[in-house]
Structure 1
Amino acid sequence: MSDRISYGIIGCGMMGQEHLRNIQLLPDTRIAAIFEPDGRMRQAAALIAPDAAFCDTLDDLLARVDLDCLVIASPNLDHIGQLERLAQTRHLPVLIEKPLFTRIEDRARLEALHRGYQAPIWVAMEYRYMPPIAVFLQKMPAVTGGLRMLSIREHRFPFLPKVGAWNRFNRNSGGTMVEKCCHFFDLMRLATGSEPRRVMASAGQAVNHLDERYGDETPDVWDHGFVIVDFDNGVRAMLDLCMFAEGARFQEEIAAVGPAGKIEALVPGPGRFWPAHLGDPPVAQIVESPRQPRGPVISGVPVDPALLAAGDHNGATFYQHQRFNAVVRGAAQPEVGVEDGMKAVLMGLAAQESALSGQAVTLDFGAGGADLARRA
């Protein structure tokens, strides 16, 4: 491997293009080749990475000998198959977008693949690396005196248009609790330092996409819901999701509470969606509220404007790529591995089952592997 890392990219839709922009902010990197079957997305990617070669098939991309690593940012339903094809062809370090898979049946495929894969796999959970959330996680133990309750609220815009409207249907995306919320289930496991044992949810489709038609179908993705998760160490966590609330000042509001106090992270949405007539977009905040002495302490967490311009995740994609780049160079190990990605998906599937059945769902992450165990 030379000092300059050469990337292959699979999928250059909205998220793939964000990956391109952030990779190019790193020193000693190049976008060597791209596989993107959609013509409009190829054109957009070519504007960002004009020196990249475009491959007509996935196998053409994998046959290139100049690649040091791969980024998979294709539609959700393609992830597991493309990862399997990579495993059959060559074992390159790979950063793969969440979710790792979309159906409970795919778990066995993932575990079989992972057992034999001889290179690092990093699952892209960008929310871990948002600067305000990183500060929140770092300060949380001292401010709370030990986490007891965690709540995550995301009130945001509806799902954006994607190629072929793949994200409008549960069969393609895995469903909202998998596609959108696996980020938050990953954060819950990270913050609690424990494993989930019971999931209870109420969710559905109330407002979004009901007037859309694709062929003779109406989208079936959910747009709101509540999820409560009990963890093995006694911590309780809650997710409050609404995807028809883009008028809010902050998109994510995360709160952790313990015997010593409370800490919150208030995170704005993408700056490009902020109404111009309101002036500059808001800056993320951390609010520390100790029980003694009482009184909140508010601090801003500004993000480098160049990183804000490179994507919609408050600079998180850049910081994630910094760390993945170190993995490719052999200087670090993946911080978000296959097990993390798998468990986040299984929590999302459990939330969807709970919402559909009206019953709590227990989870089993025992020696036999993670699975949905039964309805309680």
Structure 2
Amino acid sequence: MSKDIINYGVIGCGMMGQEHLRNIALLPGARVAAIFEPNDLMANAAKAIAPNAKLCGSIAELLAQEELDCLLVVSPNHMHVSQLAEVARLRPLPMLMEKPLYTSEEQGRQLAALRADYPAPVWVAMEYRYMPPVATFVEQLERATGGVTMFSIREHRFPFLPKVGDWNRFNRNTGGTLVEKCCHFFDLMRLVLQSDPVRVMASAGQMVNHLDERYDGETPDIWDSGYVIVDFASGARAMLELCMYAEGARYQEELSAVGPKGKIEAFVPGPGRFWPTHLGVPPTSQVIVSPRHPKGPQAVDIPVDPALLEAGDHNGSTFYQHQRFVQVVRGLAQPEVTLDDGAWAVRMGLAAQQSAMTGQVVQL
């Protein structure tokens, strides 16, 4: 495709959708041409970010806009598969689909039927891959470790934020915390270990957050903490530690990979807007390599463009992801995070949810 400007159509413009809009606005050669957002408040907020975009009353109306070159889907999790089916039926354009790709085993089966026949590229939005400290961590893995045998992720962060209609307070809409929040981390496990999982063990639950909330008389059932251990076909092991009531920490994510030659770590701060102003400038991301011989940690700061930090909560990754996706739309590259990758991440999350509920190991 030789067009000067790539025109996006956007489905869903809540909090995360608006982050995408701000990042597309920073991207040369791209613009948002049309938006479908059924909530008036969110639609007006989106229009303020992308004033030249047309607000559409349905997905069908959005897809009827001839100038569209691609789609971005940022709707609530449980809507993704049905919306993919509608797009496939009406006008299958190249698509960037927010995570998680689906939320239940039944939706997984529906997705499998769609995947084979969708004629355009689909990229599943796993932003954490594109955080500069995480990207540096992945690039340096082999040199630092000599081949990863153990990989751990710790995320200590703030609780789930309010969303339109409070959809993210209930497992039936999100797939559960280990799908909604943690599919990013299961995707990173497969990326880092270059292998597929064979067993999942988890202990998780709702300990602190949302217990005093009621929506139409119903108490949220979304979990806020847990541990997940995953065995991989290669023999490597990975572990996730999640706590969503620990936002006082200096770093939000801490990654550690170890192999026969040494260890590499990445430290990623949370959104700058949540950092206490009385503590001064928010922390800078860091990567540390710790070789076995000769011993001596080597630390490198990984700064991120302040304009990208201002545009969203994901350490600049949303912008870098769109840079690469636009190349796919232009026909110059293939999706780096495929439908298969997105499906595996959900499958791992659902297995972790099942293991935590039953107390049993889940074989994949």
TM-score, length-scaled by structure 1: 0.96
The CA distance in 2 between the partners of 1:146 and 1:92, in whole Å, is 39
Residue 349 of structure 1 aligns to a residue in which SS? helix
Amino acid at match of 1:300: D
Match of residue 56 from structure 2: 55
The CA distance in 1 between the partners of 2:172 and 2:111, in whole Å, is 18
Residue 84 of structure 2 aligns to a residue in which SS? helix
Amino acid at match of 2:230: V
Residue 263 of structure 1 aligns to a residue in which SS? strand
The CA distance in 2 between the partners of 1:215 and 1:110, in whole Å, is 31
| Residues 291-326 of structure 1: per-residue CA shift (max 9 Å, x gap) | 111121111000000110111000000000000000
Match of residue 106 from structure 2: 105
Match of residue 310 from structure 1: 311
The CA distance in 1 between the partners of 2:263 and 2:235, in whole Å, is 17
Which ranges of structure 1 fall in alignment gaps of 5 or more residues? Answer: 364-376
Residue 340 of structure 1 aligns to a residue in which SS? helix
The CA distance in 2 between the partners of 1:218 and 1:19, in whole Å, is 31
Amino acid at match of 2:282: P
The CA distance in 2 between the partners of 1:287 and 1:323, in whole Å, is 27
Residue 298 of structure 1 aligns to a residue in which SS? strand
Residue 209 of structure 1 aligns to a residue in which SS? coil
| Residues 320-359 of structure 1: per-residue CA shift (max 9 Å, x gap) | 0000000000100000010000000000000000000101
Match of residue 4 from structure 1: 5
| Residues 113-134 of structure 1: per-residue CA shift (max 9 Å, x gap) | 1111110000000000000000
Residue 154 of structure 1 aligns to a residue in which SS? strand
The CA distance in 1 between the partners of 2:29 and 2:157, in whole Å, is 36
Match of residue 91 from structure 1: 92
| Residues 27-63 of structure 1: per-residue CA shift (max 9 Å, x gap) | 1212110000001101110110011100011111111
Once the two structures are superposed, the pairs formed by residues 1-376 of structure 1 within 5 Å of their partners are: 2-363=3-364
The CA distance in 1 between the partners of 2:284 and 2:259, in whole Å, is 26
Residue 66 of structure 2 aligns to a residue in which SS? coil
Bigger relative contact order, structure 1 or 2, given CA contacts below 8 A and separation 6+? Answer: 2
The CA distance in 2 between the partners of 1:78 and 1:110, in whole Å, is 12
The CA distance in 2 between the partners of 1:133 and 1:299, in whole Å, is 13
Match of residue 371 from structure 1: none
Q: How many residues align?
A: 363
- Counting aligned pairs with the same residue, the percent is 67
**Deviation for aligned residue 1:5:** 0.7
| Residues 74-105 of structure 1: per-residue CA shift (max 9 Å, x gap) | 00011000000000001100000001110011
| Bigger shift: residues 273-282 or 288-297 | 288-297
The CA distance in 2 between the partners of 1:329 and 1:24, in whole Å, is 18
